[in-house]
């Protein structure tokens, strides 16, 4: 039987009295616990004046791509963080990598966020 060698940091654990995630308590207001789910969103692409593909960081959130769906903000945050760290690694080698720059801007958004409405 294998034992897990990775421990969960205390600030990412669960409140022993309430059973809630301590990370979520730091990031979200209480009302956000009752949402349907979370989207990991990345900026949309367009065509730059020079004809190449470019990400449009200023686009309204309703136009961003829904990268994936998660049941909880915590799940979404972990994937977003992983995407961020991978992008940083790519940018050390290729600072002009458009996709890596776009993934740095990815964000977790609740499914009922009014900014998603067209």
- CA distance linking residue 61 with residue 106, whole number of Å: 11
Mean pLDDT confidence for 56-83: 91
Q: How far, in Å, CA of 41 to CA of 13, rounded?
A: 25
Task: Choose the weakest-confidence range: 24-28, 36-40, 109-113.
Answer: 24-28
Q: Collapsing DSSP states into helix, strand and coil, what is residue 21?
A: strand
d(CA 103, CA 85): 10
The H or E element spanning position 101 is helix 98-104
Average pLDDT for 42-66: 87
Percent of the chain with pLDDT over 90: 35
Tell me what the pLDDT averaged over the chain comes to: 75
pTM, two decimal places: 0.64
Q: pLDDT band for position 3 (50/70/90)?
A: very low
Count Cβ atoms within 10 A of the Cβ of residue 44 and give its class: 0-12 exposed, 13-18 middle, 19 or more buried.
Answer: middle
Comparing 7-11, 43-47, 83-87, 99-103, the range with the smallest average pLDDT is 7-11
Q: Between 102 and 4, where is the model more confident?
A: 102
Residue 69 gets the label, from left (phi > 0), alpha (psi -120 to 50) or beta, of beta
CA distance 64 to 60: 7
DSSP state of 20: -
């Amino acid at each position: 039987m294998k034992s897990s060698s990775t421990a969960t940091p205390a600030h990412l654990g669960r409140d022993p009295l309430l059973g809630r995630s301590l990370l979520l308590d730091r990031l979200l207001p209480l009302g956000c616990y009752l949402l349907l789910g979370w989207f990991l969103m990345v900026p949309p692409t367009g065509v730059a004046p020079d004809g190449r593909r470019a990400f449009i960081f200023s686009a309204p959130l309703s136009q961003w791509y829904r990268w994936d769906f998660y049941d909880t903000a915590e799940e979404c945050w972990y994937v977003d963080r992983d995407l961020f760290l991978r992008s940083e690694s790519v940018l050390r080698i290729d600072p002009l990598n458009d996709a890596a720059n776009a993934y740095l801007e990815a964000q977790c958004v609740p499914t009922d966020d009014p900014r998603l409405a067209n």
